[in-house]
Amino acid sequence: MWFLITNFHMICSVIFSTLFGLSTSFWMAVVTRFLLGSLCGLFGPVKAYASELFREEHQSIGISTVSGAWAIGLIIGPALGGYLSQPVEKYPHIFLKGSLWDKFPYFLPCVIISGLAAIATIVCFWIPETLHNHKPKDEAKALENEGGETNKDKKITKSRNLLLNWPLMAAILAYSLATLHDIAFQEVFSLWAVSPSRLGGLDFTTNDVGNFLSISGKPFPYI
């Protein structure tokens, strides 16, 4: 199960990150960016997987490691996006004018991210499965008849309909709103920062935007 979930998300990241860097129109960029975000909801499943992979006494370390890795990515990612965007203008001695990098100025950071995602997809082949931790229905029923069912199992059985589980739905709603606000800030700020001062922008370079987002821990929108 975890193998399929992680590989699906990582493959989507490889495909749509690459297509985003190869966008030739505004709407192509919007569509690929939308699909990239919609089909790459990996952070939640990874936390759930960590809670199953580690023993109970080590679950806090496992989950905090996931969050720590995400935080490190929020520092490195903006730097990659800022310094590797428009490589023909920044590194003309390496990337020639009229080349692929000139036609697609944001392809370089996207293809690097796709490469890292491809490596992660291969690594997923060695991820251990945790499906055996969940007992089949017949076994669970037998366990209940023997009086061995735990309080945690009873709570899960009583709350089979997730849509009626208000604490869970409230947490999902709050997390969704917070994420929407965060993503909106990232995209709007980046556009405002690179806009010329005559239009009310900050006239920042992509390096400046990358530095700011890296310091503040915000992902670069081109990644």
Q: DSSP characters for 70-127?
A: HHHHHHHHHHHHHHHSSHHHH-TTTS-TTSHHHHSTTHHHHHHHHHHHHHHHHHGGGP
Assigned domain for 141 exists: no
pLDDT of residue 138: 47
pLDDT band at 10 (very low <50, low <70, confident <90, very high): confident
Structure tokens, 1 = 């199960």
| Inside any domain, residue 147 | no
Q: How many domains does the chain have?
A: 1
Quick one: pLDDT at residue 142? Answer: 47
Q: For the segment 34-51, what is each residue's pLDDT rounded down to a tens digit?
A: 888 887 777 777 777 777
Burial group, residue 56, by CB count within 10 angstroms (0-12, 13-18, 19+): exposed
Q: Which domain holds residue 69?
A: 2-134+165-216
52-105 tens-digit pLDDT: 777 777 878 878 888 788 878 878 888 888 888 888 988 888 888 888 898 999
Residue 156 in any domain: the answer is: no
